């Protein structure tokens, strides 16, 4: 069985500050890991994905995530938050490509 | 590129009514799926399909039916709507283990 845990349902950061959104996964086989972003009243958009190549993955809009097998983590970071980063972020895992399991999401607020 | 198209965008049903949520993709993706999104619960998989004629259940399949007669279309049927099915529904498609492409969702209210 696979699952994803996102610590912190709400995260607030000041504009220009570091963004850190946490994701831990459980999987009995090497996983594919993803981060998605959802803006209000929209579908989910892919930020980045890990597919067993480099452990540090760079995505769109300045986001990146590091796969740490020993910690079963795939935390999302951005060095400097922008007002436009305010959204909901979801971590997801799949090992087969048939079933994707999502975390419960983290709502990011950026304070001007 | 149209991507994944869902219709309708909004729907209000009365308890016991039936309806079909439509999903179509134009990317020739083998894999299609339906999720429901509820506050504090993330996205939960309802049903998925790995190709025409093949469907399987996800985490929360009860009360929903699907079929996949073509590669492009994957409709979700609610046979007898219940208030517990009030949710936002997303259709998504992908090619093998590549990332999911999502539609813009259908907001369903069951009274």
CB contacts of B58 in chain A (<8 Å) are 99
Section B101-106 average pLDDT: 94
A15: phi then psi, degrees, rounded to nearest 5: -55, 130
- Give the pLDDT confidence score for residue B60 in this predicted structure: 95
Compute the C-alpha angle A30/B50/B66, nearest 5°. 125
Q: Which of B4, B7, B23, B42 best probes binding to A when mutated, by most A CB atoms within 10 angstroms?
A: B42
Mean pLDDT of chain B: 94
Give the closest of B50, B92, B103 to A98, CB-based. B50
CB B9 within 8 A of CB B104: yes
Q: Which of residues 23-42 of A touch B (CB under 8 A)?
A: 32, 34, 36, 41-42
Tell me the pLDDT band of A12, cut-offs 50, 70 and 90: very high
Distance in angstroms (rounded) separating the CA atoms of residues B65 and B76: 6
- Bridge partners of B110, per DSSP, are B13
Give the closest of B43, B48, B104 to A90, CB-based. B43
Give the closest of A9, A43, A101 to B103, CB-based. A43
Task: Tell me the pLDDT tens digit for each residue of A75-96.
Answer: 999 999 999 999 999 999 988 7
Distance in angstroms (rounded) separating the CA atoms of residues B71 and B48: 13
Distance in angstroms (rounded) separating the CA atoms of residues A66 and B109: 39
Task: Tell me the pLDDT tens digit for each residue of A46-85.
Answer: 999 998 778 899 999 999 999 998 899 999 999 999 999 9
Q: Does A3 touch chain B (CB under 8 A)?
A: no
Q: Does A100 touch chain B (CB under 8 A)?
A: yes
């Amino acid at each position: 069985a696979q699952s994803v845990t996102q610590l912190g349902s709400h995260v607030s950061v000041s504009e220009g500050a570091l963004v850190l959104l946490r994701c831990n996964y459980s999987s009995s086989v090497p996983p594919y890991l993803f981060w998605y972003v959802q803006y209000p009243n929209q579908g989910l958009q892919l930020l980045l994905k890990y597919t067993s190549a480099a452990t540090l993955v760079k995505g769109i809009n300045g986001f990146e995530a590091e796969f740490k097998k020993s910690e079963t983590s795939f935390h999302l970071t951005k060095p400097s938050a922008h007002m436009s980063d305010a959204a909901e972020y979801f971590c997801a895992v799949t090992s087969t490509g048939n079933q994707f399991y999502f975390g419960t999401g983290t709502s990011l607020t950026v304070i001007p | 590129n149209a991507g994944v198209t869902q219709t309708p965008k909004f729907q209000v049903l009365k308890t016991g009514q039936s309806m079909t949520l439509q999903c179509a993709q134009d990317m020739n993706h083998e894999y299609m799926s339906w999720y429901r999104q509820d506050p504090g619960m993330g996205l939960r998989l309802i049903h998925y399909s790995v190709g025409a004629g093949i469907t399987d259940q996800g985490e929360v399949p009860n009360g929903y039916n699907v079929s996949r007669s073509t590669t492009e279309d994957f409709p979700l049927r609610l046979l007898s709507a219940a208030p517990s099915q009030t949710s936002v529904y997303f259709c998504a498609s992908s090619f093998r283990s590549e990332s999911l492409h999502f539609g813009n969702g259908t907001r369903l209210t069951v009274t």
